[in-house]
Structure 1
Amino acid sequence: MNFTRTLLPLSLLLLSGCVVGPDYQKPETALPAKFTESKATSAENVALNPWWEAFRDKRLNALVHEGLGENLSVMTALERIEAAEASVTIAGAGSLPSLGVGANATAQGGHNAQDRRTITGGADASWLLDFFGQYRRAKEAATASLDAAYDDVNVARLAYLSDLVSSYVNARYFQEALALSRKNLESRRETLKLTNEIREAGAASNLDVLQTEGLVNQTLAELPGLEAGFLQAANHIATLLGVPAGTVTASLTKGSAQPMPRYTTRTGVPADLIRNRPDIRAAERRLQAATAQIGVNEANLYPSIQLGGSINASRVFTNPGVTNMTSWSFGPSLALPIFNGGELRARVKVARSQAEQQYLTWKSTVLNAVEEVENAQSALIRDGQTVAALRKVVQTNEKTLELARESYRGGASTILDVLDAERNVASARLSLAAAIRQLARDYVALNVAIGGGAEIGAAETVASK
């Protein structure tokens, strides 16, 4: 009677099919209602927004399209999906019955021995009953890790877009800087020619000529560094496309205008980042996997029951006749974790700590994303103001240079006034080119920070696997 009273509650508990461990809850963290320099308006899903098309650069668009399916980092991330999918299969297989079969044949004979042939076959089956949800939690963890692997592909795709477009911006900057330096070189050679003419007329000294020649040579010395910068940017673009360095240099040699974004970016609100940023989604999926792992470890604290059985049959052929023999067995086995030195409970504590670490990682990822958007947006706004101001500086210095040359021809000023004006023009032009490059890079950073374009080409890339 006492045995029945003890067994009945345990049987009801086992048959209920309970799942131990905490159920996953979406994480939360306090976020501001809006970004500092944006309106409190939620943005649409930006994962399919081809933001680089705002540059209106056909060559850049072609490079992005070409590289989406060829970038090695994205392809590596796709391979990790294969492993994650296999892990889901492995995790689910543990809760299913297993069956194995085998067979063998032997022959025996000799001078004094009786001829004997034996054929034996058998089958073994087992099934671990998942009463406490160990395998269900394991499959939940593996599925969450698979989702994280898909998000990691989008993280790699965003990194590729950022690197490729920024490298293209750099390449066009160095080409613009080269063109400006050559233009400055032409201007300084004209000044040198003018100085020689005035010296021949007796109105300039050899010192004036030497100072002018020095400025010409200084400009010549700047050209190789700018050429190297362009070649390095072009080589890096080739690497991002998965082709040898130098492959795309010829196609980029024909220069074009520096990329400038033609419209602004809607940043949305900070809460949108949780939906749009693939790194945040991946961190959340890893938190879910870590939470499920707590249940896996907790299930090991409880008894486990395994159903097993086997059947074996043999047939023996001898001279007198044939003998058949068959045997079978079936029954449950119970394992009780009693003495393990506290290892199993320690594993549960480790799993809980790892889940807490994953939550902190998720929270840190969210806060870093908000900071990246704030920084990129503030930089984009102010660098736009810098570009507008530098355009006026260039115009002013160019007019000043014209007036300085006319004054020098008329003898009202010295060659130093002309040289100073030329330096100011050259410096202002290069500063403007650098500011335009930074403005374009800020635009790239802002769109990447909000998760823009993370899923473009995703379906095509996965389908090609």
Structure 2
Amino acid sequence: MRTRIVALAALLLAGCTTAGPDFSVPPGAVVNRPSANAPFVSGREKVFADIPLPDRWWQLYGDARLDGFVAEALSANADLRVADANLRRADAVVAEVAAGRTLSTTASGGASLSRPSGTGTALPGQVGYDIGIALAYPLDLSGRIARAIEAAQGDAEAVAAARDDVRVTVAAETARSYAAACTANMVLAANTRILTLQRQTLNVTQRLQRGGRGTAFDVTRARTAVDQSEALIPAQIATRTAALYRLATLMGRPPADYPRDVESCARPPAMQRPLPIGDGAALLRRRPDIRAAERSLAAATARIGVATANLYPQVSLGGSAGLTGPLSSLGSGSSFSFGLGPLISWSFPNRPVVRAQIAQAGAAADAALAQFDSTTLEALRQTETALAAYAREGDRNAALRRAQQSAAQAADQAGRLYRFGRTDFLSLLTAQAALTTAQANLAASDALLIDRQVDVFRALGGGWQS
């Protein structure tokens, strides 16, 4: 007997430490590499500034309308409501797991009717009762419950980071949709100006034909140019309408309730200063998806401890009290009973099963670490790509602006020369066609430049902070 007590004490002592490894980001993780924390390779362009990104990056545009749209979207967006509900559920799971280390109570009661056999006693016989209450408090010597709480908290924090990632997306897409609607209006205005010029050319050509200086062929070609420009307008209006509907949806409104004032927005919001981008270290701290992956790794590490704790006995302090006996003795001292002592449970001898569960948890943690590294690398790649794309589109936009100015000057010169009979009609149409192409290319680049800006801010992970 003494040997058994010593063995049991040794087992309990072995279980008095928290099972499994404590979590820390592995030194070899990508997030710890110096190159991942350094300034961005593509951030050396003059269009960027190595200063911290503000939380509400959309306010850099200085557009009160945009500020209001983003604020409404962040408070009413349906996807954000889903994310908030998921977070509340995750918090409730943490509370449920944490309740496992509190006092539990079990009450029981029953009645019985019995008659000894062979006594000849008539029914109903003797009525008995059994009423009791039992209390149990887990000691958690192995840390199983503590590790389970850590795992649930890690999962909840990952869900919170996922909710923040939705906020990043909602803010970025709201700004993008607003800019798209304004850009469509700008493109529409540019096409209208070209159309006005082409109609003027058509009128001049018709007058020249009536005066004997032009041909029906010239008139037909001029009318064709007008028709081609008019054909572009419906598609541009459809693009604006789609952007307005998307903006309304992001703000939690039905499409029919889109903000009417955006229909008259003449130009998209513009930023006249270098984009603040910070560095890699700030990015790694700010990106919600990186935080979510790190918290998932913490949860997976804690589950190794949960599995390891099954190697040790589960001990709790328990007590019970009750009344039992025939109904006639109800309330007497002889019917009262109580008990107090440790309650021990152990799944011995299923150690191979537990070892397999520990191996499963370890493999899951390895996978979570790999996912953490993958998420970090992808975040860095997205950011570097977005920075490079914005810088190069800025160069392209500047060249297209120069080309548009040259084409506008050439079209004006060709128009004057044609009216005075110093050039042919084909030269005029060629110059106007070049202007139309230059205007369209510049408008498309202006729209793409705003898109590239939003891509940069989204890649940097701004906008989730409250």
TM over 0.5: yes
Q: Which residue is 2:7 aligned to?
A: 6
Moved more, 261-270 or 72-81: 261-270
Q: 1:337 to 1:165 in 2, by over 3 A?
A: same
Q: Which amino acid aligns with 1:231?
A: T
Q: Which residue is 1:146 aligned to?
A: 156
Cα deviation for residue 252 of structure 1 reads 1.6
Helix, strand or coil at the partner of 1:186: helix
1:391 aligned to 401, 404, 408, which one? 401
Question: 2-side partners of 1:151 and 1:13: how far apart?
Answer: 37
Cα deviation for residue 207 of structure 1 reads 0.6
1:296 aligned to 293, 297, 306, which one? 306
2:76 counterpart of 1:75: no
Q: 1:11 to 1:187 in 2, by over 3 A?
A: closer
2:182 counterpart of 1:172: yes
Q: Which residue is 1:246 aligned to?
A: 256
Q: Which amino acid aligns with 1:127?
A: Y
Moved more, 76-85 or 231-240: 76-85
Question: 2-side partners of 1:295 and 1:173: how far apart?
Answer: 56
Q: Which residue is 2:56 aligned to?
A: 50
Cα deviation for residue 138 of structure 1 reads 0.5
Contact 1:261 1:443 in 2 (8 A): no
Cα deviation for residue 106 of structure 1 reads 9.7
Question: 2-side partners of 1:412 and 1:451: how far apart?
Answer: 59
2:425 counterpart of 1:415: yes
How many residue pairs align between the two structures?
448
Cα deviation for residue 309 of structure 1 reads 3.8
Cα deviation for residue 316 of structure 1 reads 6.6
Cα deviation for residue 35 of structure 1 reads 1.3
Q: Which residue is 1:65 aligned to?
A: 71
Q: Which residue is 1:261 aligned to?
A: 271
2:143 counterpart of 1:137: no
Q: Which amino acid aligns with 2:356?
A: A
Q: 1:219 to 1:42 in 2, by over 3 A?
A: closer
Helix, strand or coil at the partner of 1:94: helix
State TM-score, norm by structure 2: 0.88
Q: Which residue is 1:270 aligned to?
A: 280
1:125 aligned to 135, 138, 145, which one? 135
Contact 2:12 2:313 in 1 (8 A): no
Helix, strand or coil at the partner of 1:81: helix
2:373 counterpart of 1:367: no
Q: 1:368 to 1:11 in 2, by over 3 A?
A: closer
Cα deviation for residue 298 of structure 1 reads 0.8
Q: Cα RMSD (Å) of the superposition? A: 2.7
Helix, strand or coil at the partner of 2:39: coil
Contact 1:297 1:344 in 2 (8 A): yes
Q: Deviations over 1:234-285 (max 9, x none)?
A: 0011110111012115232112212222222232221222211111111101
Helix, strand or coil at the partner of 2:106: strand
Contact 2:185 2:264 in 1 (8 A): no
Question: 2-side partners of 1:204 and 1:249: how far apart?
Answer: 49
Contact 2:174 2:250 in 1 (8 A): yes
Cα deviation for residue 125 of structure 1 reads 1.8
Cα deviation for residue 209 of structure 1 reads 0.5
Question: 1-side partners of 2:65 and 2:316: how far apart?
Answer: 64
Moved more, 134-143 or 82-91: 82-91
Q: Deviations over 1:363-411 (max 9, x none)?
A: 1111111111111111222212222222221111111111111111122
Q: Deviations over 1:167-200 (max 9, x none)?
A: 1121111111111112211111111000001111
Cα deviation for residue 233 of structure 1 reads 0.8
Question: 2-side partners of 1:44 and 1:313: how far apart?
Answer: 74
Helix, strand or coil at the partner of 2:133: strand
Question: 2-side partners of 1:378 and 1:323: how far apart?
Answer: 85
Q: Which residue is 1:284 aligned to?
A: 294
Helix, strand or coil at the partner of 2:336: strand
2:107 counterpart of 1:101: yes
Contact 1:401 1:418 in 2 (8 A): yes
Q: Which residue is 1:25 aligned to?
A: 24
Q: Which residue is 1:187 aligned to?
A: 197
Moved more, 181-190 or 142-151: 142-151
Question: 2-side partners of 1:338 and 1:116: how far apart?
Answer: 43
Q: Which runs of 5+ in 2 are unaligned?
A: 115-121
Question: 1-side partners of 2:202 and 2:331: how far apart?
Answer: 116
State TM-score, norm by structure 1: 0.89
Superposed counterparts of 1:431-450, under 5 Å: 431-450=441-460
Q: Which runs of 5+ in 1 are unaligned?
A: 459-465
Q: 1:255 to 1:268 in 2, by over 3 A?
A: closer
Q: Deviations over 1:3-47 (max 9, x none)?
A: 455344334334xx201101101243224232113369996664x
Moved more, 202-211 or 342-351: 342-351
Question: 1-side partners of 2:186 and 2:458: how far apart?
Answer: 25
Q: Which amino acid aligns with 2:402?
A: K
Cα deviation for residue 88 of structure 1 reads 1.3
Moved more, 323-332 or 112-121: 112-121
Contact 1:279 1:365 in 2 (8 A): yes
Q: Which residue is 2:345 aligned to?
A: 335
Identity score, percent:
29
Q: 1:43 to 1:141 in 2, by over 3 A?
A: farther
